[in-house]
Amino acid sequence: MASKEIISFGGMSVHFCLDEKDTQGQITMFEVTVDPATRMPAPHYHKDFDETVYGLEGTTTYTVDAKTILLSPGDSIFIPRGTVHGFENKTDARVKFLCVINPGIFGPAYFHEIASIINAGGPPDMGKLLQTLTKFGLVPVMG
């Protein structure tokens, strides 16, 4: 049975459709909703998995390998592991997109940890955020 879990933090919510248990570790799939004027996450790359993103609602501004890509409904982007990327909602409307992770090693545990840091109140603990990113194979790229 597919996970129907929704994890919310910092103007963003992640609704898991399939997690690693549902697919024998082959993929994870989740829908991301981002409120207006929300920028998340910091530019980063994935060490051990690829990501495919499919636009569902609104227009999300992605930066992939220093190129700006506007992701609208029906558009898709393939982001191979090792490729620096990030996204923003620069609009005044909510945006929504579907993410498929292959292999399925990136699941709800990451988002639970991030949500606990972001939702703790006050400025987020940047040390804890960095530790969580690296624990789950995300490598932040500064500057």
Name 72's bridge partners: none
CATH number of 6-140: 2.60.120.10
Q: What is the SS3 assignment for 117?
A: helix
Q: Where are the domains of the chain?
A: 6-140
Q: How long, in residues, is the chain?
A: 143
> Which pair of structure tokens corresponds to residue 36?
């207006």
Strand ranges, E, within the chain: 6-9, 12-18, 28-34, 39-46, 50-57, 60-64, 67-71, 76-79, 85-88, 95-102, 138-140
- Tens of pLDDT, residue by residue over 109-143, are 999 999 999 999 888 899 999 999 999 999 999 76
The pTM (predicted TM-score) of the whole model is: 0.92
Residue 49, pLDDT > 60, answer yes
Q: Is 10 exposed, middle or buried (0-12, 13-18, 19+ CB in 10 A)?
A: middle
